[in-house]
Amino acid sequence: MFEINSIATYLRKVFLFNNEDYLQLFFNSLYFWIFFGLMLAGYSIIYKKKGLRNIYLFVISLFFYYKISGYFFYLLIFSTLIDYILGFGIYHSRKKLIKTILVVLSITTNLLVLVYFKYAWFFTDSFNEVFGTAINLDGHLGHWFNEANETMYPHDPARWLPPIGISFFTFQTISYSVDIYRGMLKPVKNILDFGFYVSFFPQLVMGPIVRASHFIPQLYKDYKLKKYEFGLALYWILKGLAKKVILADFIAFYFIDTVFSDPLRNSGFENLMAVTGYSMQVYADFSGYTDIAIGIALLLGFRLNTNFNSPYKARNVGEFWKRWHISLSTWLKDYLYIPLGGNRRGTAATYISMIAILSIIVLISGWPPLAFYFGGAVLFLGILARYIPAVKRNIDTNINLMITMLLGGLWHGASWNFVIWGGLNGLGLVVYKFWRKISPWERYNNMVVNAWKILVTFTFITFTRIFFRSENIEIAKNMMSQIWYDFNVTVVPAVVTANYPFFITLAVGFVLHWLPYTTKDKVRNAFIRSHVAFKIIACLIIIIIVYQYMKGGVRSFIYFQF
C-alpha cells in the first residue's frame, strides 16, 4: 500500500499542476529536458504522419501550458475556439459590414480577456482611488481559479496572478483574424491544427509571436531536418542556455538584484553598473529563451522567425527597435501603427486611442487634476495645429508613433514605470527623426562615427531600463539620484575588486555581443559542421557548466511576467 501511495503521489506531481514547482517546465530546468526527451521519443514514432503529428504536439502543448499555468489553459482553449469560429465567419461572409463586425468582435473579445486577467484589478483599484468609489469586481471567477490552481493572492483570495503568456498568444490570435479580414490568409479547416498553431509550446509563453501566414503552411509539409539544420538547432539551444544561465542569471544574482533592491545603499557607480548590467541581463535572458525556442522548434521540423538581431549594435533608436523583440515590434507596426495612419496622418482611431491612453495614465497616477492638465495641453496643441501648418504636420507624422510606443509600454504592465519607459522610447524615436535631418554625422559611415552612434544609442536605451526594471517609481528616482549626485569615483577600484566576477562576465558578454557577424557565422558554421563527437563533448561541457551555475535553483525568465 505504501508503494502504491508513493507511486500515486509521484504521478500526481508529474501530471497535475502544482503551484510550488511550476518552474520545472522552464527551459532552464532538468525536468523540462526530461519532458522534452520523452515527448521526442513519442514524436519519433509518428512524425511522418502530418495529421497525427499535429494532434500529438497540440496535446503536448496543452499539457505544457497546464503544468505552468494550471486551469488557465481553459483561456487558451477559449481563445482558440473563438478565433477559429470567427475566422471562418470573416472569410465566408460576403458583406463587408459583416466581415468588419466579426473582426471587431474578435479583436474586442481577445482584448477584453487580456485586459480582464492582466489589468482589471489594477484599473479598479486606481479608479476607486481617483474617484473615491468602492467598486469591487465579482470574485467568483477568481475564487474558482485559485481553488483549482491552489494559488492565492496573499491580500485578496478573489484575485489571481495573470496567466503566463497571455499577452503573446492573444496578439497571435488577433493577427490571425485580421489577416483573414485583409485577405492575406484562408482560415484553418481543422480546429486541432489551429489549436496547435495557437499553443505550440516552444514559443507559447514568451514568443516569438508567430504569424499564421508563416507558421500554418508548415503544418501541412513533410518533416524535414537536414544534418545542417540539426547542428543549427543544437547550436541555438546551447547558445540560449549559456545566455540565460551563465550570463543573465549570474550577473543578476551576483550584483544587479542587490543594487536594484536598495539603490540608496550603493554608490552612483554601482547603480550605473547595475543598470548597464541589466541591459545585458534582459537581452541575454529574453534572447536566450527565444534561441532555445527556435532550436526546439527546428528539431520538431518547424521554423520560427528570428526575434533578436544584435540590438546593441544599433546606431539609433529606430534601428534598435528593428533589432529588439522583432516579432512584437513588427506586430505593433502592422496591426497598430499603420492602421492608425502611420506617419501620414492622424485618424479617428488615433484620437480615440490617445484619449484612452491619457485616461489610463490618469488612473495610474491616482491624481484626478492630471486630466485637466492633459486636456489643456491637448487644447493648446489643437489650437496651434489649427493655425500653424508645421505643427499640424509634425503632430500628424508623430502622434501614431508615440501612441504605439506608449501602448507597447502598457502591454508590459499598467504602471508608471512602463508608461515612462514606453514614452521615453517613443520620444527617442521622434527626436531621432528630427535629428537625422540636421545631424552632420548621418552621412558618415566609418568605424569611429558608428562606435559613437552605438554608444549614444546604448546609453539612452540603458537609461530607459531604469524604469523597466525598478519595482516602483521611487526606486527608479533613487537610482537616478545616486548616479547623478553620488557617483563617487573613489569607490570604483574597491567595487571592481570586490565584484570582479560580475565585471568580467559582463565584459565577456559585451565582447561576444559586439563581435563581427562574420566571426559569429564562422563559429556557428564550425560547430554545425563539426564531428558528432565534438558536438557531444560541447553539450556535456555546457551542461556541466550550466549545472554548476544553477546550484542556487531555477530562475524565472524575465518576460514570463508579461
Active-site positions read 412
- Contacts with 518 (C-beta within 8 Å, 6 or more apart), sequence order: none
In the chain, % helix, strand, coil (3-state, to 5) comes to: 75, 0, 25
d(CA 279, CA 512): 15
How far, CA to CA in Å, does 186 sit from each of 89, 90, 179, 182, 427?
11, 10, 9, 10, 38
User: Do residues 106 and 174 make contact, with C-beta atoms less than 8 angstroms apart?
Assistant: yes
b/e string for 46-66 if b means 16 or more Cβ within 10 A? ebeebeebbbbbbebbbebbb
d(CA 294, CA 486): 44
d(CA 386, CA 380): 10
- Contacts with 27 (C-beta within 8 Å, 6 or more apart), sequence order: 240, 241, 244, 289, 292, 293, 557
Q: Give the CA diameter of the chain.
A: 86
H helices, E strands: number in the chain: 26, 0
Look at residues 492, 468, 475 and name the one whose alpha carbon lies nearest to residue 273: 492
Look at residues 284, 291, 232, 265 and name the one whose alpha carbon lies nearest to residue 482: 265
Question: Phi, psi (5° rounding) for residue 300?
Answer: -85, 0
b/e string for 126-140 if b means 16 or more Cβ within 10 A? beeebeeeeeebeee
User: Do residues 492 and 442 make contact, with C-beta atoms less than 8 angstroms apart?
Assistant: no
